[in-house]
Amino acid sequence: MNGTLNKVILIGHLGDEVKMHYFEGGNCIGRFPLATNEVYINKTTGEKITSTEWHNIVVRNKAAEICEKYLSKGDKIYIEGRIKSRQWQAEDGATKYTTEIQVTEFTFLNTKKETDLSKSSLPTGSAPDDFNV
């Protein structure tokens, strides 16, 4: 394979509400934590162990607005995206680092707001390739 690939597929539960940030020019981003779980058996004790991994999710523009409208803490979502690492200067001058998943596709698997909607009307979406906000 000559090229490289940066693709992530996750199915998990929102750990908090979607937090929106708006920019001049009308662009926006939504951020939320996503929990995925791995279950395994401890070979020594036979105990069932659940390990949770937290992912920082970033959705942009119209896709962010859709997520904010329909998603709540605890909802289950399928996400496709790519890993993006970035750094910035904190107010105290320290350099901070984070790794995020920038969403390119998503499907709501269940939402608390389903009671207001028929399951077939839950949106799915693609995030446009405009990650330079």
Within-domain flag for 85 = yes
pLDDT tens digits, 90-110? 999 999 999 999 999 999 998
Residue 120 has pLDDT above 50, yes or no: no
Q: What is residue 132's predicted lDDT score, i.e. its pLDDT?
A: 42
User: The pTM is what?
Assistant: 0.81
User: Tell me, what CATH number does 18's domain have?
Assistant: 2.40.50.140
Within-domain flag for 117 = no
pLDDT tens digits, 4-63? 999 999 999 999 999 999 999 999 999 999 999 999 999 999 999 999 999 999 999 999
Residue 114 has pLDDT above 80, yes or no: no
Within-domain flag for 83 = yes
* 130 vs 15: which has the higher pLDDT: 15
Residue 133 has pLDDT above 50, yes or no: no
In which domain, by residue range, is 73 found?
8-105
Task: Region of 25 please: left (phi>0), alpha (psi -120 to 50) or beta.
Answer: left
Count of structural domains within the chain: 1
Q: What is residue 127's predicted lDDT score, i.e. its pLDDT?
A: 58
Across the range 84-91, mean pLDDT stands at 94
Other CB atoms within 10 A of residue 123 CB: 14
Within-domain flag for 95 = yes
Across the range 62-76, mean pLDDT stands at 96
Supply φ then ψ for residue 36, to 5 degrees. Answer: -120, 145
Residue 118 has pLDDT above 60, yes or no: no
Within-domain flag for 112 = no
Three-class secondary structure assignment of the chain: CCCCCCCEEEEEEECCCCEEEECCCCCEEEEEEEEEEEEEECCCCCCEEEEEEEEEEEEEHHHHHHHHHHCCCCCEEEEEEEEEEEEEECCCCCEEEEEEEEEEEEEEEECHHHHHCCHHHCCEEECCCCCCC
Within-domain flag for 118 = no
Q: Rounded to whole angstroms, what are the CA distances from 111 to 87, 106, 126?
A: 33, 13, 18
How far apart CA 72 and CA 113 sit, in angstroms, is 8
Residue 112 has pLDDT above 80, yes or no: no
Within-domain flag for 115 = no
Within-domain flag for 56 = yes
